[in-house]
Amino acid sequence: MNTLMATLRMIRAGWVLAREGVIAGFPANGLTGPAATAHGVASALARKRSRSLDNAERMTRAIARLGPSYAKLGQFLATRPDVIGLDLALDLAHLQDRMESFPMEDSIRRIEDSLGQSVSELFVEIGEPVAAASIAQVHPATVRDPDGTTRKVAVKVIRPGVRQRFARDLDTFFLFAQMQEKYIPASRRLRPVAIAETLAQSTKIEMDLRLEAAALSEMGENTKDDPGFRLPTVDWLRTGRDVLTLDWVDGIKMSEIDALRAAGHDLDRLADAVVQNFLRHAMRDGFFHADMHPGNLFVDPKGDIVAVDLGIAGRIGLKERRFLAEILYGFITRDFQRVAQVHFEAGYVPPHQDVEAFAQAIRAIGEPIHGQPAETISMANLLTLLFEVTDIFDMQTRPELLLLQKTMVVVEGNARALNPRFNMWKASEPVVGDWIARNLGPGAMLADARNGLESLGRLARTLPDLAERTERLSHEVGDMAEHGMKLDPETVNAIGKAEARESRSGRVALWIIALAALWIAWQVS
């Protein structure tokens, strides 16, 4: 029954996407057979009015009809340009997650159920929602601190029924992923079912607002001394599973370029700051805001960037950061052989591939960069070429790196909107150069040696226990080889009971079959 309902929901989703012109907007180049036919049929079904809209507007209309689960699916797929292509990923990244707000009384019920207190006890006043998205909506409110002062806050409240809706729609997403993996062999490298599992896990995390609060708190600690960047402070007393309360942000959205200019902000400085802060968080902390579209970034009256909505965050380990730094440095110095070797050392490319051929492909990407002015080099174009190379060499998907790459493209887009002459490489140089000096130079070698000695010390302390366990295991294996496997009495009893149940079930089944046969024979006679 679940599969049938998921199939019907998938058919409905396909119909809506076709009617709103979303499928017609996908490139048809390279499609053959049933895929080309399906694209042609979907294009014919598209409403005439949809043909004058761009891809983002078409998807906004379709998502409004399909519901919040599909809005979140679109945002999630924006983090996977390897799956849907970079152009579509960028369209989805700028997709405005705007949904109808839900009634005020539902918000009040959610707040009181989650925090165990009445709204009047928690807030001096709370206003109607000012923004509504797929998972939650935001209310302005005022709170009174213990010293008697009042301050304005933003209260984020989970949408009623959203968890049940997501659980239902996830069945449809899993069915589609299974069909894709079964019938489109070329897609198996991208592991569609694993992508659906990642979506399921990420939405579970995002729908517990305590976890978003924890991410905001962690990044706030990491960035407290960073110039020109901050995050709103969490009000933990008024935060629970379904409610997140933060300091109110007074500022202008980064998407409102004319308003920023009218307020006297230095747009060139903001362009550099948004890129440098993203790189600082990713490379220094290994923890970064992974949904940095301009609607989630505000500029306060002092000119500081304030980031909100940390439902999607990315992490990369020190090892991955070092490999990325080496890859970047290799592109800059034109050491394409080293770039190729780093990919193999990191396990990004399967070992059966030819490192020399891969180095040749990397050179085809890197050489054109050195013939262009720096301000014309687009990270988006560079990543498009890299994704094509990964497909040729059967490179396995690395979700954490793809999330970093996709966010870097979005951040670069923010910077170029602020400053059309933006030079990505010049803006990145202070942060990347400092990180390379600290982590790939002599100081890093000493730190690695110290960490290695500490690891050896911890291993030495566990050696006696390890030796004792090894000796005990050796005796047990020898005894098993000589006398056979011994089962304890509880295990034997459990096996006996299970066999008895199976035997009884088998006898019952045989009696049912026999009685059914007699009844059929009696009916026939």
- CA–CA distance, 346 with 354 (Å, rounded to integer): 15
Are 104 and 128 in contact, with CB atoms under 8 Å apart? yes
Which of 81, 28, 19 shows the shortest CA–CA distance to 53?
19
Active-site hit among 268, 291, 309, 391: 291
- CA–CA distance, 161 with 112 (Å, rounded to integer): 16
Query: What φ, ψ does residue 97 adopt, rounded to 5°?
Result: -85, 80
128: Cβ contacts below 8 Å, ≥ 6 apart: 101, 104, 139
Buried b (16+ CB within 10 A) or exposed e, 80-106: bbbbbebebbbbbbebebebebbeeeb
SS3 203: helix
Known catalytic residue: 488? no
- CA–CA distance, 124 with 496 (Å, rounded to integer): 66
Which of 346, 348, 330 shows the shortest CA–CA distance to 338?
330
- CA–CA distance, 500 with 492 (Å, rounded to integer): 12
According to DSSP, residue 313 is labeled E
β-partners of residue 299 are 252, 305
Would you state the torsion angle of the CA atoms of residues 348, 354, 360, 362, taken in this order, to the nearest 10 degrees? 0
The tokens describing 366, both together, are 């890197």
The tokens describing 153, both together, are 């806050």
The tokens describing 329, both together, are 């440095």
Give me the residue label for tokens 């019938």: 183
290: Cβ contacts below 8 Å, ≥ 6 apart: 79, 312, 313, 314, 403, 404, 406, 407
The tokens describing 456, both together, are 């050896």
SS3 322: helix
CB 185: neighbour CB atoms within 10 A? 8
| Helix H or strand E segment including 333 | helix 318-333
Which of 45, 97, 483 shows the shortest CA–CA distance to 312?
97
Are 389 and 365 in contact, with CB atoms under 8 Å apart? yes
The tokens describing 191, both together, are 């592991």
- CA–CA distance, 154 with 234 (Å, rounded to integer): 10
Please report, as a single letter, which amino acid is at residue 316.
Answer: I
Kindly report each contact of residues 14-18 with a partner whose C-beta sits within 8 Å and lies 24 or more positions away, as own/partner: 14/42, 15/45, 16/62, 16/65, 16/66, 17/42, 17/62, 18/42, 18/45, 18/46
End-to-end CA distance of the chain: give it in Å, rounded.
38
Active site positions, annotated = 291
